[in-house]
Amino acid sequence: MRLCRRKLISTQVTSFWIQFATKYIVRIFLFSLFLIASIICIIIISTDSKDGTYTIIIDVRENRTLTTDTYLSSHPWRHASSEDEIREKLGLTRDGQLSTGVLGICPEVPYNLSGDVKALSSIHDFHTLEILHAKMHGRFEPKTCRSRQKVAIIVPYRNREHHLLVLLHNIIPFLEKQLVDFTIVVVNQALPSTFNRAMLFNIGFLEASKIYPYDCFIFHDVDLLPINDRNLYNCGPYPRHMSVAIDKFCFRPIGPTAFGGVVSFSRESYLRVNGASNLYFGWGGEDDDLYRRVNGSNMVVVTHPLSVSRYSMIKHDRDVSNGINPQRLTLLDNAVARMSKDGLNTIQYKRRTLQVTKLFLWVDVEVDEQLIWKTAPADLTLSLP
Ligand code: UD2
Ligand code: MN
């Protein structure tokens, strides 16, 4: 009888352990996997950074009063509204530079570059930025040599003021060091239309070109800060994906055909793909479409080494007027076939303001979604969800 009871107890104990094992071991295993992945990510970040420091993912969410409107409406240059007046403020003529002088051409790779640089997370208001970056007069041009290209940095934009302030504070000294002749073009899409990043590329390209036939266009997310000064802001014969290694993704490429973030196009190559598609309203797909256009035009996307194409992304949430685009996959299916019928040659928008300040060119536009859909090829609109 005693023996029998002992046997019973031992069977109960065994089944308890079996239950425990099946219930918790899986959880423990999954948790360990998560832990290992996090450790690997931290190791990658720390070993990738040459000076041995961690790159901090910057978070600038804070309660600050928005000042863009005040800055724009009180700027001493606010009355320069015609293209001729703006060109003059930028020190440009239709086909060249106002200032003469015989300067030698800048070196292809400036001598003073150092590699990894730290992203600056401090936020200064526009007026302070003008003082801190006093060499900006709407445009920057090096004083010691003549740049090889004139570069327009096109920033698709809506309601990301803190990001814009941080980007300006980082990118101006970065490009000055690289001896780039540059103008920053912020293309603001007015509410209430759904955000359309790729269409803002086209608008930036067209509006900047009315001022000057820039040689090189760099389409730049407002929340990406370059952190290696050997990542040269110029254009080669083929489009380049410049932001391959981002801290948010542990500095690893997010895919072989990634083309979001920061990309560069020479004027000729952007014209060759007929710009970007105008039909991507909302988040996603527009970058892949542009990639397909490049391949479909007998060009290739080039990248520079991971150790150079490095960026820090400012932390942010998804924007309310930029929800996931449900039509992106259908649109992608015929990206190449649509290329000649959807882009720079079919765009429709209303320019509300074109204004220049010491820091950037501001293009404020209204986009009518219904009107854009009327420009879309009929066979495509039928197949959309
Ligand atoms: C990814 C891509 C981005 C784009 C997007 C899908 C990278 C590194 N980034 O970024 O290039 O393809 O997916 O559309 O691959 N913006 C505003 N206000 C808004 C919404 C967007 O200014 O309300 C601008 C801003 O310049 C921003 C960019 O659009 O950086 C991309 O939007 P996102 O930052 O919300 O998208 P994200 O980070 O998922
Ligand atoms: Mn982003």
Asked if residue 236 has pLDDT above 80, the reply is yes
Q: How confident is the model at residue 308 (pLDDT cuts 50, 70, 90)?
A: very high
- Within 8 A by CB and 6+ apart from 228, the residues are 115, 116, 117, 307, 308, 309, 310
Is the per-residue pLDDT at 30 higher than 90?
A: no
**Whether the predicted pLDDT of 2 surpasses 50:** no
Residue 34 identity (one-letter amino acid): F
Residue 341 has what DSSP assignment? G
Query: Active site includes 221?
Result: yes
Residues β-bridged to residue 156: 187
Ligand closest to the CA atom of residue 283: 1
283 counts as catalytic:
yes
Structure tokens at 36: 């290992």
Structure tokens at 382: 């039928």
Check pLDDT > 50 for residue 50. Answer: no
Using alpha carbons, list the distances in angstroms from residue 141 to 69, 87, 147, 172: 27, 14, 8, 11
Q: How far apart are CA 190 and CA 98, in angstroms?
A: 33
- Catalytic option among 78, 148, 283, 351: 283
Tens digit of pLDDT for each residue in 318-357? Answer: 998 999 999 999 999 999 999 999 999 999 999 999 999 9
Quick check: is 125 catalytic? no
Is ligand 1 within 6 A of the CB of residue 167?
Answer: no
What does the mean pLDDT of the chain come to?
A: 89
d(CA 40, CA 54): 14
Neighbours of ion ligand 2 (CB under 5 A): 223
197 in contact with ligand 1, CB cutoff 6 A: yes
Asked about 48 being catalytic, the answer comes back as no
Strands (E), 181-280: 181-189, 216-220, 224-226, 240-241, 245-246, 262-266
Annotated catalytic residue, options 141, 207, 221, 342: 221
Question: Is the model's pTM score more than 0.85?
Answer: yes
- Of 214, 186, 210, give the one whose Cα is nearest residue 200: 186
User: Atom 18 in ligand 1: which residue has the minimum CA distance?
Assistant: 158
The protein residue whose alpha carbon is closest to atom 13 in ligand 1 is 284
pLDDT interval class at 95 (50, 70, 90): confident
Ligand approaching nearest to the C-alpha of 249: 1
pLDDT tens-digit readout, 142-187: 999 999 999 999 999 999 999 999 999 999 999 999 999 999 999 9
Tell whether omega for the bond before 326 is within 30 degrees of 0, i.e. cis. Answer: no
CA pair distance 342, 338, nearest whole angstrom: 6
User: Does the beta carbon of 334 lie inside 6 Å of ligand 1?
Assistant: no
Residue 351 appears among annotated catalytic residues: no
Which is higher by pLDDT, 25 or 194?
A: 194
Helices (H) and strands (E) in the chain, counts: 12, 14
Binned at pLDDT 50, 70 and 90, residue 33 comes out as confident
Please give the sequence-ordered ranges of beta strands (E in DSSP) within the chain, or none if there are none.
92-93, 96-97, 139-140, 150-157, 181-189, 216-220, 224-226, 240-241, 245-246, 262-266, 302-303, 310-313, 350-356, 361-366
